[in-house]
A and B are shown apart, each in its own frame.
Chain A
Amino acid sequence: MYPFDIVRPASVAAAAAALASSGGRALAGGQSLVGAMKLRLAQPGTLVDLSGIPGLTGIRRDGDAIVIGAMTRHAEVAASAEVGRAIPALAALAGGIGDRQVRNMGTLGGALANNDPAACWPAAVLGLDATVVTNTRRIAAADYFRGMYETALAADELIVAVSFPIPDQAAYVKFANPASRFALVGVFVARTAGGVRVAVTGAASAVFRAGSVEDALSRNWTAAAAQGATVDAAGLNGDLHASPEYRAHLIPVLAARAVASAR
């Protein structure tokens, strides 16, 4: 690990100021960042530790939405009775991230700021048309994810919470890489007031909506309809784990499984 300075601000404003002045990186749970720093894939000159900032954790219902603080751990979302009642798909997704130890440290905000192309949370944010709330603005899911590890966040902008609209039904099914537990492909399906949404992670450089599956499910919300859709392999990831064609094949298959288990 390369040397770095540590800053431990006590407020979001102080953290943003520290990021602006130092050009450093924010540290949430560190389950991606610390590993990347150990491998020297990341080498921030300054780390801005967010753990001492009050008010960034917690889960609450706000009208027709569930609002989750950015520093809330995956394990806390998974165990939340409030989330389990309102959006069980969200609790299940959080409970399937990484492993027990990662879920005990990793945070919602950290995962979204990192935007790993195979991370689970982006699928829920895009699938539910959630709003990413930062210290300066509210960002719609469609505007937030820009590409591989790339988001709409400015260098000194911090996620403070995410607001997930409560859907009629939703589910997330992940085809996990057996070694890393990251999504080889993960599909989040949701029936919402605004229509059917199908978000896919792990299959491309960033999370995206599967239009053909959404069309099929809009006409007929059944597993068979999802399974009957086809997804173009062009632009999808190919690596030693799976070809683009295999990932394209998995998307309707997993969407069908998700529809079958949606609640």
Chain B
Amino acid sequence: MAGPSAVAVTLTVNGKPVTAEVDPRTLLVDLLRGPLVLTGTHVGCDTGQCGACTVHLDGRAVKSCTLLALQADGADVLTIEGLADADGTLHPMQAAFKECHGLQCGFCTPGMVLSAIDLVRCHPGADEATIREQLDGNLCRCTGYRNIVKAVQLGATAMTCQGTGGSAAGTHVPIRAGQGA
């Protein structure tokens, strides 16, 4: 895929160092899903609307379909594959989505989970209305948001109890070394 004007990008993905030669046009999501085979990050609309491609870039939720891979040069990237502990213990937000059945087909779920973690970082005590408003970068086309919002509420409580929620703006969710690629 690397053409004559290929550029080198070096980044950390789920705790592991990655170096790749990419065509400058390569989107971050295509680097993740292609060479790195991290297919948990989904391409939904491919126009920056739906949030299915959400990953964390240095702890912040971003849309990897609207980011050039070279914009992640030097950054820490966390995908859904890197969220659970090495022993398979789910992140509290993942566990909450499972517990509340905050999904139907599951296509939007990786983006929802990563966006929700960033939401809790910025709004640790968010009420239902705030969660609905602050989750507007992620679309579910199956069934609606009721269980998703319940999951975010439960996940927020669990994250706060585990100390992974952050009590002030600017607190990073720890990037965990995880499985995958």
Contact = CB atoms under 8 A, between A and B. Distances in A.
Interface of A: 1, 3-6, 8, 27, 30-31, 34-35, 38-39, 47, 49, 51, 75, 79, 98-102, 104-105, 181
Contacts of B46: 38
B63 A181 contact: no
B118 A51 contact: no
B137 A101 contact: yes
Contact of A75 (B25, B60, B136, B138): B60
A148 B157 CA distance: 46
B57 to A, nearest CB: 7
A181 B48 CA distance: 12
Given A38-B46, A100-B122, 12 more contacts: A3-B25, A4-B24, A6-B70, A8-B70, A27-B71, A31-B48, A35-B47, A49-B70, A99-B51, A100-B118, A102-B137, A105-B66
A75 B62 CA distance: 12
B48 A102 contact: yes
- The interface size bin for chain B is 20 to 34
Contacts of A98: 137
Interface string B61-77: 11100111011000000
A105 B62 contact: yes
Top 3 A-B residue pairs of the complex, sorted by shortest distance between their CB atoms: A99-B137, A104-B60, A79-B169
B74 to A, nearest CB: 9
Contacts of B48: 31, 35, 102
A51 B24 contact: no
Contacts, number: 80
Given A31-B66, A99-B51, A47 B60 contact: no
Nearest to A178: B136
A39 B46 CA distance: 10
A38 B49 CA distance: 14
B34 interface: no
A181 B137 CA distance: 10
Main secondary structure of the interface of A (DSSP, over half): mixed
B71 A100 contact: no
A6 B24 contact: yes
A31 B136 CA distance: 16
26 contacts: A3-B3, A3-B5, A3-B23, A3-B24, A3-B25, A4-B24, A4-B25, A5-B5, A5-B24, A6-B24, A30-B66, A30-B71, A31-B48, A35-B47, A38-B47, A49-B71, A75-B60, A75-B122, A79-B170, A100-B119, A100-B122, A101-B115, A101-B137, A104-B60, A104-B118, A105-B63
Interface in B118-144: 118-119, 122, 134-138
Contacts of A34: 27, 66-68
Contacts of A31: 48, 66
B111 to A, nearest CB: 9
Contacts of B47: 35, 38-39
B153 interface: no
A6 B7 contact: yes
B170 to A, nearest CB: 7
B109 interface: no
B118 A105 contact: no
B63 A102 contact: yes
A100 B169 contact: no
A31 B5 CA distance: 23
